[in-house]
Structure 1
């Protein structure tokens, strides 16, 4: 539909509405890298399989606190010898990458330290986030529209008139929380005999930004 042009009998006012909401995160994500190294390929694969299974089994013990448990990349890489001719292999390096997403942040601190205490296992994160269908996005849109209407009414009121109709409403951007770089990294070369105390992790609040533009007609003001 073509937007009518403004006229003295139906002047227009165009405004922008914005919302910036700080909300608590709903999920946290950590990545796990399980490693193995050895001079024999079969032994290295067996060690890697055993450690991967142990990490998976540990994560699964947290039941409903785990929303996602996914295996990413797997690699087994031969390391050539530094000296000598031919294709002599010095060692084999194996890695499996896992991703765990949790909604229970109390369980997160305990699971993180228990995973990091496993043999040749590295933990990175957490990365805090909202779910794709989080109500925070709808609240941000609603707030942005409300601000646009209030701003347009304020302009009309300054002219001594009122709004008469909405001509156009455009969503110029719903910006999800940024994914922070880095994060915590924990790793131990060998398993300890005593279970480490759980980490006290404070959730990082998320900022959701929404922007709209709106165009209204006004009753002709008396200038």
Structure 2
């Protein structure tokens, strides 16, 4: 049906009408669950009076770290090198650009889902020469079903809240008008700031292997919120 150009259109009624009153609510969900993965940062350092020595030491130590991490097989889901540097340090005195020493560094990130292996690996890494370990950072996987569970719980909570408002008026819900997702995410994606584990072992240091580090996984907080609008059957006030 075509509306004549000179016929006024009905005004929008975003807040409902007496014949179709609306109720707007917010549904929220908060889940506390165990983490699914843990990430650690690994920094390998080297220092030498000439470039070649520093580079060779850094290469050797980096290879030792890679060999150790990859030896854990499927327990390590991801291993990435994020940064490499070899920087000359100039002398503070004297004329000209005289190099005093060279500093080398490689930074890696490892991601594990086996937390038993995580404790052993962090201890063995920290026992390597000039190697620093940071972390762990606990997290859920991006596609974790926990996120879906939180969103669904938030929707159910919104429907329940709207029904309670309608029941307080002696009526019931008629239809859903709008459902807006305003967030379903970790409050702290990588957990709180972890303590730093550091080891700067002397070159060639030997001895018994350190006992595996006991790590307690940090529980993750997953929140979801939705806004929902419903129409109600007109109540008899």
TM-score, normalised by the number of residues in structure 1: 0.96
- Counterpart check, 1:208 vs 2:222: yes
Query: Where does structure 1 differ by over 4 angstroms across 4 or more consecutive aligned residues?
Result: 2-5
User: What's 2:3 paired with?
Assistant: none
**CA distance in 2 between partners of 1:182 and 1:28 (Å):** 12
**CA distance in 2 between partners of 1:107 and 1:42 (Å):** 35
* CA deviation vs aligned residue, 1:138-167 (integer Å, no higher than 9, x gap): 010011000000000000000000001000
**CA distance in 2 between partners of 1:186 and 1:109 (Å):** 14
- SS of residue in 1 equivalent to 2:215: coil
- SS of residue in 2 equivalent to 1:45: helix
C-alpha contact (below 8 Å) 2:70/2:76 kept by paired residues: yes
- Counterpart check, 1:101 vs 2:111: yes
C-alpha contact (below 8 Å) 1:15/1:213 kept by paired residues: yes
User: What's 1:129 paired with?
Assistant: 139
- Counterpart check, 1:181 vs 2:190: no
Q: How does 1:1-223 map to 2 (within 5 A)?
A: 5-178=15-188, 179=190, 180-190=192-202, 191-223=205-237
Show structure 1 runs of 5+ residues with no match: none
- Structure 1 residue 120: Cα displacement: 0.3
**CA distance in 2 between partners of 1:217 and 1:68 (Å):** 49
**CA distance in 1 between partners of 2:187 and 2:32 (Å):** 9
- Structure 1 residue 207: Cα displacement: 0.1
**CA distance in 2 between partners of 1:73 and 1:170 (Å):** 41
RMSD over equivalenced CA pairs, Å: 1.3
Q: Which has the larger radius of gyration?
A: 2
Show structure 2 runs of 5+ residues with no match: 1-11
C-alpha contact (below 8 Å) 1:141/1:210 kept by paired residues: yes
**CA distance in 2 between partners of 1:35 and 1:3 (Å):** 67
**CA distance in 2 between partners of 1:91 and 1:182 (Å):** 32
C-alpha contact (below 8 Å) 2:136/2:194 kept by paired residues: no
- Structure 1 residue 186: Cα displacement: 2.1
TM-score, normalised by the number of residues in structure 2: 0.91
**CA distance in 2 between partners of 1:87 and 1:13 (Å):** 74
* CA deviation vs aligned residue, 1:72-129 (integer Å, no higher than 9, x gap): 1100010111221111111000000000000000000000000010010000000000
